[in-house]
Chain A
Amino acid sequence: MEVPILKQGHFLIASIQSALSDADLSQLREALIARVGKFRARGVIVDVTALDVMDSFAVRTLRDIAHMARLRGAETVIVGIQPEVAFAMVQLGLTLKGIATALDLEEGLAFLDLQGQGRIDKRQGHGRIDRG
């Protein structure tokens, strides 16, 4: 099942529509990395609203995507994690540390916009408190 990837300005948006098998996830990763390079994207949004489960493979894949995108100069935001999915993830011990997350597509785009304007420290994710 191929995941549709849209281009919006300098951003790529991958909208997952239904449950994905491991092979589908790997395919998504390859497709995104290729496009980030091709379009010199500055941001990537992966919308996981439709995923009702996020297990270790899914998390690993998202981490790979974020890592590889960053190497090519693009920031990744994962959006749409469902409350029950987030709950199960933390119990499984899976985190997306170091990767930005947002509630939905709208928030994800807002984050990338603000970031593009230099208002957020990239490495710390959004809304981080200055403890200095």
Chain B
Amino acid sequence: MGASTVGDDLRCLIAADTDVVQARQAGRELAAELGFSAGDQTVVAAAISEIARNILMYAKRGEVRFTKVLDGPHTGLIVVAEDDGPGIRDVSRALQDGYSTSGGLGLGLPGARRLMDEFEVVSAPGQGTKITMRKWKRGNA
């Protein structure tokens, strides 16, 4: 499906397999535009991949939105992944390493959290899920 621009935001609809690839590539490009190192671009892309796949797996459909933050030394990328899916019953447990409902490597949340600088999850059964994560450009101490 398509991606559109609204001001500084880029929206990627997640409804199919290939959308996960598109979303992570879009995230990588934005990170590159912001001047992130190659390593950090890959890290951002990996986190987006995990989160977008979760949307597909659990909610079947959702959206990933990107916002560039260009504030002098405070430069970074905000990624919001939102869906109207079944929601997560126990968020704190889902964020724990090693937790999984579907076997294998689990929800990917703890992994994505490790990769990003800031990570918030708002979710409840029947209320969908909204994940906000941020990565700042390094060297801005």
Q: Do A and B come from one complex?
A: yes
Q: List residues of chain B with CB within 8 A of the CB of A53.
A: 24, 28, 42, 45-46, 49
Within 8 A of A (CB), among B22-39: 24-25, 28, 38-39
The interface residues of chain A, by DSSP majority, are classed as: helix
Contact A22 B114 (CB under 8 A): no
Question: Which residues from A are CB-within-8-Å of B21?
Answer: 19-21
Residue B85 at the chain A interface, CB threshold 8 Å: no
CA distance A60 to B103 in the complex (A): 11
Residues of B within 8 Å of A, CB-based: how many? Answer: 27
- State whether A23 and B17 are in contact (beta carbons under 8 Å apart), knowing that A55-B108, A88-B42, A93-B114 are contacts in the complex: yes
Interface string of B38-71 (1 = CB under 8 A from A): 1101110110011001000000000000000000
Interface size class of A (residues with CB under 8 A): 20 to 34
Inter-chain contact B50/A91, CB cutoff 8 Å: no
Q: How far is it, in angstroms, between the C-alpha of A21 and the C-alpha of B110 when the chains are bound?
A: 22
Interface residues of B (CB under 8 A from A): 17-18, 20-21, 24-25, 28, 38-39, 41-43, 45-46, 49-50, 53, 97, 104-106, 108, 110-112, 114-115
The 28 listed contacts between A and B (C-beta, < 8 Å) are A19-B21, A19-B25, A21-B18, A21-B20, A22-B17, A22-B20, A22-B53, A53-B24, A53-B45, A53-B46, A55-B50, A55-B108, A56-B105, A57-B53, A59-B105, A60-B104, A82-B42, A84-B38, A84-B42, A85-B42, A88-B42, A88-B46, A91-B43, A92-B111, A92-B112, A92-B114, A93-B97, A93-B110
